[in-house]
Amino acid sequence: MTTSIKYEVEQLYHYTSLNTLHAILQNKTIRLTDYRFLNDMQELFFATEKLKKYIQGNPTINEREELLTAVQNIESGKISKFKSVGYSGDKILVSPLLSDTNYYVLSLSNARDNIAMWKMYAPEGCCMKFNSQKLFEFFYSFRDEHLPQGLTNIIRGQVHYGDDQQMPHMVNFMSSDFNKLMIYYNILQYCLLQKDKAFAYEQEYRIALPFESEYLDDSCSREFIISETLIKPQIEFKNFPISEILEEVIISPFVKSELTHMGVQELLKANGISPDIVLKSNILIR
């Protein structure tokens, strides 16, 4: 794992079930979900529909048709990337390619011990705090190891809620000659970091990695999770250094049993992690 880059410090929390906490600790894995299969398809369409409406209403925009085609391709899971086609000395030769490369997303939050988040995502679960430096190192190390299979960038950042002010600047940036080859990346980055203002309480932070079948090896696998009538494609990353990344585990305020607190402590101890990082929520529930 590379340590040469110092990333900005983020307060990153993951609200989840006790089953997921157990799986991450026991298996040393973490899963990301296909960007088209997040909690609601409207999450993606909220941004793409706004983007298409703006582009269609401004006929003077450079590369207008190319932008619209790219947005439509992203909605259906087609993403242009740079594909390795060989080497020249120690340099990788690349060529743009429209492929079925999909981004897989890890949804986090900047909100610690938040009642709305507890109710929505982990009423009987927990909230894990991740060390942002170690987490970013893990994902960028994976990206670097797979550069020969395709040079598509990681997307990460705080989600913006109902903010249209960026639209003109972003569209001009996307359609400039300098950035034309990165249109798909720029559009997807914009769309993944935009949500309706009704969800502002989430204070969401997203990390998204590109993935295709060529990446499958001992470090990752394609998995599926069934949630009621929905089957969600996921990528499971192996050898996840959870003992280095996990800084805090907060038990939901809706969980009253002391045995839950003790059980999580024992789970952490069994995986070489200090039980002292297990805390109870400070939120009072009547």
The pLDDT tens digits for 100-158 are 667 899 999 999 999 999 999 999 999 999 999 999 999 999 888 877 666 568 999 99
At a CB cut-off of 8 Å and minimum separation 6, what does 60 contact? none
Which residue from 100, 103, 119, 101 is spatially nearest to 111, judged by alpha carbons? 119
Mean pLDDT of 62-73: 87
What is the tens place of the pLDDT at every residue in 185-215?
Answer: 888 899 899 999 999 999 999 999 987 776 7
Mean pLDDT of 26-31: 96
pLDDT at residue 162 above 60?
yes
Say whether pTM exceeds 0.85.
yes
pLDDT at residue 24 above 90?
yes
pLDDT category of residue 2 using cuts at 50, 70 and 90: very low
Lookup: tokens for 174:
């996307």
Q: Are 208 and 154 in contact (CB under 8 A)?
A: yes
Mean pLDDT of 262-267: 98
Q: Are 244 and 134 in contact (CB under 8 A)?
A: yes
